[in-house]
Amino acid sequence: MLASIILICILQFKIIENKESNCGCSIDRAQKDNYDRKLFYNLLQSEEGECSTVTKVEDSEIYEVTNDMVLISGREYYIGTDDIIIKNDIEGPEKIVKLDSFYVDKYEVSNRDFSHFTKLTNYKTEAETFGDSFVFALFLNNTFRDKMKDFRVLQAPWWYKIMGTDWTHPYGPDSDILDVMDHPVIHVSWNDARAYCKWRGARLPTEAEWEVACRGGQRATKYPWGDKLFPEKKHMFVYSIYIILIYCVFIWANIWQGTFPHHNSEKDGYIGTNPVHLFPQNNFGLHNMAGNVWEWTEDSWSSDNPKEKVKKGGSYLCHRSYCYRYRCSARSHNTDDSSAGNLGFRCAKSA
Ligand SMILES: *[C@@H]1O[C@H](CO)[C@@H](O)[C@H](O)[C@H]1NC(C)=O
């Protein structure tokens, strides 16, 4: 029994390939595609007779505040890493930052939270304005996927740019969020995320704040839940078994299990997003800092291109073998108007 668990688990450790390659789990409005709005409408109309119907989110009677904030005290912290895995992302070197005390959301902002905001302010997200957003292939049924094959993104054909997709229609025009009100809001751009936080009297976390929050107060932690994987050579064997068991028996975060992009074994229970309160919290009491959805931060990727914003934490599409970015120091970026089915956020606030 034990031996077979270990064997199964060992088989899961795939060699890290393509670490340098562009993250397949990321998508951007700047990405080139062969997109033709008219064709899209024609395709939809030819079979449906009419275009999408708009599903209204039910008015929730009384809004419950579902997101608490956690205070993280100001001092010097280490961020970045010397154990660089994806060079192009500039994950290192490790450096010291001095932060003032700040609050950060315990959870990613949920659909319920966001719907309260849009109801009170009539805020329209950028995906609603553009009229489309990016949906991951597995969420489209076979017929629809086939029909929409011309709306794949050239460089990442598992992303489909689907009209009528926005935060209330996360999987295309016929989907809604009624069953996923406690999941993170997705298809929100950096600008949308900022508007929401501002409305709550908060702001987006800076990248440094986000990373400190992720590490839960420890110095060189790779993941929100723990420390370096292999402490000392002489204990390597014992630790290896221990770590393999931990890795396999406890699921720490919602990332991809299976063969990307066609098969997700759902070992963590979810193909896509999970409710914001699930999976173990880190030392600061924060949930889903890694996996589930990427999270926007306030920072720009570089000063030459201030429209590119840093996102952190990886998503349910990340896998060790090709998008090993569910680490605290890992980072990626998108333009500030981009939105996708695996990108959300949480807010922060100066103390
Ligand atoms: C497949 O998805 C499309 C678009 O969301 C929908 O209109 C259609 O009814 C779905 N078909 C099936 C068989 O579920």
- Return the SS3 of 39: helix
Share of the chain above pLDDT 90, in %: 56
Q: Is residue 103 part of a domain?
A: yes
pTM equals 0.81
Number of domains in the chain: 1
Task: Report the separation in Å between the CA atom of 25 and the middle of ligand 1, taken as the mean of its atom positions.
Answer: 24
Q: Is residue 48 part of a domain?
A: no
Q: Is residue 241 part of a domain?
A: no
Residue-level pLDDT at 268 = 77
pLDDT band (50, 70, 90) for residue 323 = confident
Angle, helices 236-249/2-12, rounded to nearest 10 degrees: 90
Q: Angle at the Cα of 164 (from 257 to 105), degrees rounded to 5?
A: 55
Q: Is residue 32 part of a domain?
A: no
**Model pLDDT for residues 163-192, shown as the tens digit of each residue:** 999 999 999 999 999 999 999 999 999 999
Task: Report the separation in Å between the CA atom of 87 and the middle of ligand 1, taken as the mean of its atom positions.
Answer: 41
The protein residue whose alpha carbon is closest to atom 14 in ligand 1 is 141
**Model pLDDT for residues 52-103, shown as the tens digit of each residue:** 333 333 433 344 556 789 999 999 999 999 988 888 899 989 999 999 999 9
Ligand 1 cavity residues, CB under 6 Å: 141, 143-144, 172, 174
CA distance 230 to 246: 13
The protein residue whose alpha carbon is closest to atom 6 in ligand 1 is 174
Q: Is residue 124 part of a domain?
A: yes
Atom number, ligand 1, closest to the C-alpha of residue 143: 1
CA distance 173 to 184: 19
Q: Is residue 38 part of a domain?
A: no
* Residue 119 belongs to domain spanning: 60-230+252-350
Q: Is the dihedral of CA 59, 62, 67, 71 positive or negative?
A: positive
Q: Is residue 105 part of a domain?
A: yes
Q: Is residue 84 part of a domain?
A: yes
- Return the SS3 of 4: helix
Sort 105 into a burial class: Cβ within 10 Å, 0-12 / 13-18 / 19+.
Answer: buried
CATH code, domain with 130:
3.90.1580.10
